[in-house]
Amino acid sequence: MKIDVKEILSYVVIIIVVLLIKTFIVTLVRVNGSSMDKTLHEGDIMILNLLDNKHEREEIVVVDKSVEGSLIIKRIIGLPGEKISCKEGTIYINDKKYDDSYANGLTSDFDDITLKDDEYFVLGDNRTVSLDSRYFGPVPEKAIMGSTKIIVFPFNKIGKVE
């Protein structure tokens, strides 16, 4: 039996390219729990853009295990340098009322938090059950793995999410 080195090499190259893409460009992430209900649901599988390093308000991001012990999916509400608080269920950013259109349930109150130049304030959309920056504090930029905007499974939900 003769081994075709070119054929084996082509498979090795394909495997390396796939691993590089998965490690440095995009990967899949699965939603665990109900903290992002009604936007995302348990079992949804999304594409995580690992190259996104310029984060915006209301963007859905994945935070690495260093913050809470497991990957978490949350929405950015507060940006670096901003002051954020919640009084009587209303969020304020730099003392201006924030139109919290993604909230599912009442947001529990918290005192003023001023974010450092490399910190973000993240909340789950399902405010009554979400473990988020209200409990573990601001998220350092280096802990944000990337952003996610596209559901790929279940197939009946394929597409962009807001």
CATH number of the domain to which 56 belongs: 2.10.109.10
Is 15 a domain residue?
Answer: yes
- Please give the model's pTM, rounded to 2 decimal places: 0.87
Q: Give the whole-angstrom CA distance, residue 49 versus residue 61.
A: 9
The values of phi and psi at residue 133, to 5°, are -60, -20
Q: Domain range holding 45?
A: 5-157
- Counting residues of the chain whose pLDDT is more than 90, the rounded percentage is 69
The catalytic position among 34, 66, 74, 108 is: 74
Is 27 a domain residue?
Answer: yes
Q: What is the pLDDT of residue 66?
A: 76
Q: What is the pLDDT of residue 132?
A: 95
Is 63 a domain residue?
Answer: yes
The catalytic position among 2, 35, 54, 65 is: 35
Amino acid, single-letter form, for residue 95: D
Number of domains in the chain: 1
Q: What is the pLDDT of residue 1?
A: 65
Is 162 a domain residue?
Answer: no
Is 74 a domain residue?
Answer: yes
Helix (H) or strand (E) holding 21: helix 5-24
Q: Give the whole-angstrom CA distance, residue 145 versus residue 143.
A: 6
Q: Give the whole-angstrom CA distance, residue 52 versus residue 85.
A: 27
Residues in the chain: 162
Give catalytic status of residue 74 as yes or no. Answer: yes
Residue 55: name the closest of 150, 124, 139 by CA.
139
User: What's the mean per-residue pLDDT of the chain?
Assistant: 91
Q: What is the pLDDT of residue 14?
A: 85
Is 138 a domain residue?
Answer: yes
Strands (E), the chain: 26-30, 45-49, 60-63, 72-78, 83-87, 90-93, 96-97, 110-114, 119-123, 139-140, 144-153, 159-160
Ranges of residues in the chain with a pLDDT under 50 are: none
